[in-house]
Amino acid sequence: MTDPQHPEGARAQLLAATAAHDWGGPFPRLADPDAAREAAVLILFGVLDSIPSPIPDAAVARDLDVLLQRRAPTLSSHPGQVSFPGGGREDADADAAATALREAEEETGLDPAGVEVLATLPEIPLAASNHRVTPVLGWWRRPSDVAAVDHAETVEVFRVPVAQLLDPQTRFTSVIERGSMRFSGPAFDVDGTIVWGFTAMVLDGLFEACGWNVPWNRGDERPVTV
């Protein structure tokens, strides 16, 4: 096991976690795989600005944050939900990492030059919008200012402390019922902002792969509004 006090610290644990499979799965299957669009999201971790760290790699999980955003409520796809920065691949994008960084810059204003791409992970199906999503794991070596760039797409951008996401008091099981169908999954209540669905499942799976998860009450079930 990686010593969190070693200079590689949390960054090494994230790299090691890339060997894991089924992050937060199983995910619902795509209704029309042949018509699914390729997309990528940036899962960007950084050292909390309030904690001095001359060696960024020395951070442990409690010293990290992750970049998230809230989508505009007027969007046709996943309206109002919290997500990672990202979007559909364009012809000019060389690969999934290029898509994730371009979209993150367009949505949050971050400087891609300050982001180290640690790994490109296997595709995950996103059934609700029929996308094949490639998660791109990033490490923020030189953090830059972030804010919602286009409020028609993103209304809020925020860096959430990983320690807050790992707090058992923050966690619950989200439940959606549609007729006879019932979907449940991990969720986070971040000061009233609910992180659920695809984003929460990926975060939960990643935290588990890193060995960061703390036991929480999975029996605490709460309905979420789609």
The tens-digit pLDDT sequence of the chain (226 residues) is: 444 333 358 888 888 888 766 665 677 777 777 777 889 999 999 988 765 444 444 456 778 999 999 987 665 555 578 999 998 888 899 999 999 999 999 999 999 999 999 999 888 888 777 788 899 999 998 999 999 898 778 889 999 999 999 999 999 999 988 777 788 899 999 999 999 998 999 999 999 888 899 999 999 999 987 6
Number of domains in the chain: 1
Q: Is residue 193 part of a domain?
A: no
The secondary element (H helix, E strand) that includes residue 97 is: helix 96-108
Nearest to 187 by CA among 210, 156, 216: 216
Q: In this structure, what are the phi and psi dihedrals at residue 151, rounded to the nearest 5 degrees?
A: -70, -10
Q: Is residue 116 part of a domain?
A: yes
Residue 1 confidence (pLDDT): 43
Helical packing angle, 9-17 and 197-210, nearest 10°: 110
Is 189 strand, coil or helix?
Answer: strand
Nearest to 171 by CA among 135, 210, 209, 212: 212
Residue 189 confidence (pLDDT): 96
The secondary element (H helix, E strand) that includes residue 102 is: helix 96-108
Q: Tell me the C-alpha distance between 92 and 28, whole Å.
A: 29
Q: Is residue 196 part of a domain?
A: no
Q: What pTM, to 2 d.p., does this model score?
A: 0.87
Residue 132 confidence (pLDDT): 84
Q: Is residue 110 part of a domain?
A: yes
Is 11 strand, coil or helix?
Answer: helix
Q: Which domain CATH number covers 57?
A: 3.90.79.10
Q: Tell me the C-alpha distance between 84 and 201, whole Å.
A: 12
Q: Is residue 144 part of a domain?
A: yes
| Percent helix, percent strand, percent coil in the chain, to nearest 5 | 25, 35, 40
Q: Quote the domain boundaries for residue 38.
A: 9-162
Q: Both tokens of residue 108?
A: 């949050």
Q: Is residue 34 part of a domain?
A: yes
Q: Is residue 38 part of a domain?
A: yes
User: Pairing state of beta strands 193-195 and 181-190?
Assistant: antiparallel
59 contacts: CB under 8 Å, gap ≥ 6: 9, 10, 11, 47, 48, 51, 53
Q: Is residue 111 part of a domain?
A: yes
